[in-house]
Every structure is written in structure tokens, then in C-alpha cells.
Structure 1
Amino acid sequence: MRDAGGSERDSLGHRLRENATGIVSTLVTAIWLGAMFTGQSWWLAAMLVGYVALVPVTAILFGDEEDRAEWLGENDHGVSETEQRESEETPLETLRRRYAEGELSEAQFERKLDQLLETETMEDAEAYARRDERAVERER
């Protein structure tokens, strides 16, 4: 089958590239199983190197976007699972996590917690912003 550009979509190279991860995974399995059944002592090393290094690298280099996302720990939008978890946190959860990880001192945590509680609703946030603006104006 040829596409509009005249290149062959079903060429051997194209099929190998599309199925590279599956091919490497099958070869790794065949090698370590063959080594194990023939009494080779290196079968476990072959299995580990194959599944921990060769298959993931092949998936990242030659796999489709879904393979890359799976091996790189990303979601559909290229965001890592850690970044996605952090983006789904509520402001209070973020504050607690930052304090627990040592990013904030106790005084910083308490000050930010007070600000957060004062700005819980949109009306509270607007009132807080007005108070903050007035304080800045007074300092001038």
C-alpha cells in the first residue's frame, strides 16, 4: 500500500519500527529462556538487562507516543505523574506537602496557612487583596 507521497507504508522497515518494542521484548524473552533451559548461569542477568534496559530504551526510541508516555511515566499531555499529582492537589495539600518536604519553615507555613484561610472564598480573596493594597499604599 502506498500513501499520497508514494512511499510504502507496509515496507519491512516501517513494520519493524512500529513493532520494535514487541520484537525486542520477544527476543529478550527467547534469549533468557533459552539460556535458562540450557543451564547457562547468565540467564537471570540477561533477563534483567533485557527488561530493565533494552525494552524500555526501545520503547522510548521507537515506540509510539503511548509507549513513550508509559515508560517515561507521563500522561496523555506529556506531564509526569508527579507533576500531575501536584497539579491536582488543593492549595492546602500543596502547603502541607511543601512543609513536610522542608521547603517551608514553620513560620512560613503558618503565615501561608493564615493567608490561605483568609482567602478561602473569592470574596475573601478580594478583601485580602484590598487590605494588602491599602497596606502597601500606607507604607509609601
Structure 2
Amino acid sequence: MAAAGTDDRAEAERGDDDTPLQEIAAGAVTLVTLGVAFGLLALGYPFFWVAFPIGFGGGLPLAVGLARWYESKEAESDDRAGRGRSETDTALDTLRDRYARGELTDDEFEDRVERLLETESVGDARATIERARATDDAGERGADEERAVEEERG
């Protein structure tokens, strides 16, 4: 009994544990291989046994390999998404630290946090900058118009 526990730990350390997707793929190939082989046997084909090496020697490794490839691609995309979140978390931590040290006022801190959360992608950041520039330009035009009106009165 102790040997079985030792074998399980050794297998886990090597990373040979099958994921649920790999187990499903292996089970499906096994079911199809047995079904085809015994179906051929029941129909009286003398070379029914060929289904076993094809199914278990070719189909099973192919199915498990595809499952592992799919899982590795999914893990890579999860890693990329995780890096994006960690950059946002790092920026928030920096803002919190500056606020705690008194470098930022309440309004500055809130504005920067809102801006950071609005701009999770490069496209969002560009759109925010363009909106800010458009608002600044409109404000400057309004101030210029007010000055012109005051000059005409004066």
C-alpha cells in the first residue's frame, strides 16, 4: 500500500498527471477503438485486430498530444491576461503609495485612479487623451471668446 502512495507522489513530481481534457480524449479514443475493433470482429472480418494498433498506437497519442497543445495555448493566453492585470495592480499600488506620502491630493488621486481604470488598453488610453485634448481646446476657445467680449466692452 505504501508503494502505491510513493508511486503517486513520484508521478506528481514528474508532472505526468493527466488533466480532465486529456482523460476525456483518451477515454473517447479508447471507446471508439474498442467499438470499431469488436464491431469488425462481430461482422467476421479476419483483420479486426488492426484497429487496436491504429487506435491505441496512433489515435490515442494524437488525441492526448492535441489536448496538451490546446491546454498549453490556453495557459499562454491566461498568462498574457494575467500580466495585464498585474501592470494595473502595480500602477494602483504606486498611486496609493504616493497618496499615502501626501504627494497627491484627494482630487488628484481620484482622477488618476479613474483614468487608470478607464484605460486598460492602448486604444482606451488614446481615446482618453483625445477626449482630454478636445475638452482643453474647447475650454481655451471659450476663454478666448470671453476675453474678446471683455475687450470690446472695455
Q: How high is the TM-score relative to the length of structure 2? A: 0.29
Q: Which has the higher contact order (CA 8 A, sep 6+)?
A: 2
Larger fraction in helix: 2
Highest CA radius of gyration, 1 or 2?
Answer: 2
Q: How high is the TM-score relative to the length of structure 1? A: 0.32
